[in-house]
Amino acid sequence: MSDNLPISEQYRLTAKSWVDADSAANLLEETKSAVLAKMMVAYGDAPVSRAEMQVKASAPWADHIGKMVRARERASLLKVEVEFLRMKFSEWQSENANRRAEMRL
């Protein structure tokens, strides 16, 4: 992100990215059991416990879990970036207040 942009615009852009990333992570997390069920259906008349074990041991399931983890990681990192911008703005406000107070002396 460009430091030439005002902090408010940096915050807005980062917050929007965070919302998008959080939404993507939530979608993967909320559909986890539906994806599991859909994958289990492929095992036909196999007992549920066996089908679940087979799916959870499969590469496609590991890929799905990996996508979920990476999506949550991305969302978390963007949230940290949003908080960093909030802190940066607070520091900027304090510096300006101190400067104004020094000028009055």
Does any domain span residue 12? Answer: no
Domain total of the chain:
1
| Token pair belonging to 64 | 């799905």
Range of the domain at 36: 20-104
Block residue for tokens 């679940």: 52
What is the average pLDDT across 85-100? 91
Q: Tens digit of pLDDT for each residue in 76-89?
A: 999 999 999 999 99
What is the average pLDDT across 93-103? 89
Does any domain span residue 71? Answer: yes
Could you tell me how far CA 42 lies from the centroid of its own chain?
A: 31
